[in-house]
Structure 1
């Protein structure tokens, strides 16, 4: 049954009740009935009211008997009202949950923005760490080149030292030979007194030669000592460079460790970002 049909039926029922109530009241008034000690006019009014109530009651019962759907609706009105109240309460709960979820979504978005800023900071830190690592690698390569150059220079100095040692040995052998010759000449000088002048001149020459050789030997010894000092200084410089290289390698290792930690944190943040994105998708659904 539609709404308009029900409305027309109610209007017709109201008109019927009014008409029949008026007719019964007129009939009771003409008969001058008295009920409960009332006057005829009051009795007619009471009869009209009771007639209207009875007609309305019987019409309502007939309506319920004829229209099964309306009867079911009326009988289920209380249940419907209870269900409506329950739905209203659930709607209120859902609205509160929606507000809470919107607040949670706002907080999640704020946290996501913070995480994005942290990710940017981590990216910048990672870039700086890469730059530091590259710089340390370049410094390590430069130090390695310096160590190689020092090694070559050390080898050169060692070769020069060996050459000077050989030269000193040769000069020592020559000095020994000249000394033996001088002794022989002195023996000849002692044996040959008659060649004194010639022997004295030869002796003077040999002494001068000996002095010159001694000066050369002293110069060679001085150069050898200088070469030894330079070798010691180079050895100390090489050790310092090795220590610097070890320190640079340690700094590079620490930098790589920090870079790996930053990468792990970035992966964790990426996972949390994915979880937050899934949470936002569920909230939007």
Structure 2
């Protein structure tokens, strides 16, 4: 993970990119840190999804508490045994002062008991530290899950809004397309009508010219007839 982050940071540094007005070197460092965080988070998520033992360990808080209670009971039992051993020691010293071997055995048992007690105390401290760490991790994971739930709801709402907007725009596009087609048809009809009117205008102009020529011919004929009479 560190190697991937370093490589990405190196490429950013070689490209001399700048983010938030930082120097290229600081930008590369920032990219390396962010990349490492993203990779670590992804790795943790993958481990939680694929590693049943790790997931079970995070949710074994109840069992750990029971183990703590059992350890406490063992501690009390060991203390009681130590007290009994001390009483037996005093009784043996007062009644059997000459039996050194028995005394040594009792002392040996006492040392073993004290060793077991110290081991139990160390185990208790270790379990308490482990419990504290697990509780902290549980709180962090709970906050992260809540944050992801909120983000998922926001994304769902955004998707719904975008889908509605897309449908509305699609309907408007269909309407505009239909109106455009109708306008094109109207323009084509108008152009055809204009061509027809132009042809008619040319034909009428020719008829007017023909009538004008006929008029002139008739006028000349009339003048000729008048002059001849």
TM-score (norm 2): 0.48
Alignment TM-score, normalising by the size of structure 1: 0.40
Q: Which of 1 and 2 has greater Rg? A: 1
